[in-house]
Chains A and B, each alone.
Chain A
Amino acid sequence: MNSDAFPLHQDWALWEPFPPAFLFFAGAILLALMQGPYRHRLQQIVLVLTPLVGLVNLLGLDAGSSFTWTVLHFELDQLRVDRLSMLFGLLFHVGALLAVIYALKVRDTFQHVAALAYAGSALGAVFAGDLISLFFYWEGMALSSAFLVWAGRSPDANAAGLRYLGLHLLSGLLLLAGAVIHSQTTGQIAFDFLGTETVAGGLILLAFGIKCGFPLLHTWITDAYPQSTPSGTVFLSMFTTKVAVYALARGFPGTDVLIPIGTIMALFPIFYAVIENDLRRVLGYSMINQIGFMVVGVGIGTELALNGAVAHAFNEVLFKGLLFMTMGAVLLKVRHVLGSDLGGLYRSMPLTTAFCVVGAASISAFPLFNGFVSKSMIMAAMIEQGHTWGWLALLFASAGVFHHAGIKIPYFAFFGHDSGLRVNEAPRNMLFAMGIAAGLCILTGSWPALLYGLLPWEAGYLPYTYPHVIVQVQLLLFSALAFAWLKLSGVYPAELRSVNLDADWLYRRLGLRLSVAAVGAFDYTSRVVSRPLRVNARLALERVFGPGSLLTRSAETGTAALLVGVMLAGYLLIYYVIT
């Protein structure tokens, strides 16, 4: 990793730099304590100031900054500053700033407190230098983000939040178990390269995998994200999965198994996204697909691939956050984001439409938009390392992304068949946040040196070459052509109100039924087998020990002496045999 100072570092020494998480926790506590008629206005000030002051603090950090706690005999490192943690720290501050601006008009203390605590936990995890601190921030993220899901305040949100929390607590437990075993076997708790050769490494990889949305462990994303509030989902989309990518890049770079896992993640969600009706769930599937690219990058493990993975994480916060913001604006105004019942909203929400198109172009990796400059790094690294089939699969996934996120989202929400819905444009604060996010998508896409200069590893890459641009344009235009032809010919699947079974069926239906069956079987066993057995056993014991039974009957003294004699003889015999 590049050991130079972070390029944006400022030597302003306004105060002794402290862990960025603390400021967000302080902000959350302050928000919770606010009372009185000006509470909402004051909360707005705290919400905006927290990431801004946080940025000033962050840019003052350098490799010499440290903050440790000694708990028992463990040194808990709260401030590990290097190029990787600083890049994610910057990303989370920018993401938090965009999200709080977007949420500025929300009058819900519960949500704001959860959001700042969540952002703080994510920052804590990124700067944690040891596995124990990482575990605490990991669980902090799980709990605070579950509250953001519950902020949806519907029965569906409550149920999805519980399922979400269950999986994330499981992730935390696996991380704790791995950390304990790692500490026992190596005597170290530092969070550095772990690898999968040890049991501890395997457990921790699984813990990261849940947060990352590995195949079969991914359903919390598509289950919970569509249930939160418009702004809640924007927060949710920015932190958890990116912390997981950071953790993988820190603990498992070059781990081969991540390449097939990431490829599967990039591939399977695009099929679901094509048939999904809830547009925020489509974005959830799209998120798994994009994280798949990052996981592949971490798995390849070369400097170019790792830079590509973290650069794509950076860009994804911007363009996926932007897309969730646009869908949140639609949800706010129309009350739903079902593709089957939307269409023609460009008339009412022209600016939101324009921002959505920028987000769609960015996620599709159009030249001049930020997805192009990071995704191509991963693709280039993959082919450099000779992963031909994986590369072909990722190219397929790239075309698929354009299909479902680049075209489907804007088309079904804002264009297509006019649903007749006439609403007001999104509030100004939301438009402002979307505008900044869209501007950053274009800025980093058109001027990649801005982003490349911040990357942790030294690997030069030139995205804007004549062949690169032409082949990408070919890929995207012919994908668009396929969409147009399939749509005109009626082959493209219509948007339908439905539920599509996914891996969560295993616990929401099969697991539930197995649990009910197990309870029934236990009940049956208890009634038919255990109870008669218990009754018979009690009767048998009563026959031996009960009143007037064999052992409580009075006997002659001689008989008792004879019994004792027999017992002693038996004991001597056994003793003789054993010795």
Chain B
Amino acid sequence: MDIRAQKRSGNAHEDRPPFWVTRRGARIALIALHIAAAIAVLIEIVRPFPQDAHAVERVHALEFPASYAVYGFIACVVLVLLGRVLRRLVMRDGDYYGDGGR
């Protein structure tokens, strides 16, 4: 195997990251994400979906504008919060099953 993984302390010029992964780039990406999310919701409000039952799959409880957005956001928050609870229940040391987890 060609293993050349190494940590370099860093020549600043050599390691200068491209703009899109700098702190400023990340901030802009985050703002862009917010704008894109807002646009995705606005599109539905400006041009509502046809009232055809097969136009989009939705259960009765989610028949309001931007319902998928709300559901997606809540689902991910619930997922992470429950994940934290699960971690408390199931996380053990790396060698729990013996040497190297066997």
Contacts and interface: CB of A to CB of B under 8 A. Distances in A.
A156 B95 CA distance: 11
B24 interface: no
A350 to B, nearest CB: 9
A274 interface: yes
Interface string A442-482: 00000000000000000000000111101111111111111
Interface string B44-66: 10010110000111111000001
B12 interface: no
A345 to B, nearest CB: 10
B1 A486 contact: no
B43 interface: yes
Central interface residue in A415, A427, A475, A493, by most chain B CB within 10 Å: A475
A333 B5 contact: yes
Contacts of A423: 4-6
Contacts of A154: 100
Which secondary structure dominates chain B's binding surface? helix
B34 to A, nearest CB: 7
Nearest to A395: B71
Contacts of A383: 57-59
A120 to B, nearest CB: 27
A347 B15 contact: yes
Contacts of B95: 499
A424 B2 contact: yes
Contacts of A216: none
Interface residues of B, number: 64
B59 A391 contact: yes
B57 to A, nearest CB: 4
Contacts of B67: 471
Interface string A372-415: 00001001100100001001100110011001000000000001
B19 interface: no
Classify chain A's interface size.
Answer: 35 or more
B84 A332 contact: no
A263 to B, nearest CB: 14
A524 interface: no
Given A333-B4, A470-B49, 20 more contacts: A155-B100, A334-B5, A383-B58, A383-B59, A388-B60, A395-B75, A396-B78, A403-B76, A423-B6, A477-B40, A478-B73, A479-B76, A481-B34, A482-B77, A484-B30, A493-B83, A498-B91, A498-B93, A501-B89, A501-B90
Interface of A: 154-156, 159, 270-272, 274-275, 332-335, 346-347, 376, 379-380, 383, 388, 391-392, 395-396, 399-400, 403, 415, 418-424, 427, 465-468, 470-484, 486, 491-493, 496-502, 508-509
Interface of B: 1-10, 15, 17, 21, 30, 33-34, 36-37, 40-41, 43-44, 47, 49-50, 55-60, 66-73, 75-84, 86-87, 89-97, 99-102
10 contacts: A333-B5, A388-B60, A399-B72, A420-B7, A477-B72, A480-B33, A493-B87, A499-B91, A500-B87, A500-B92
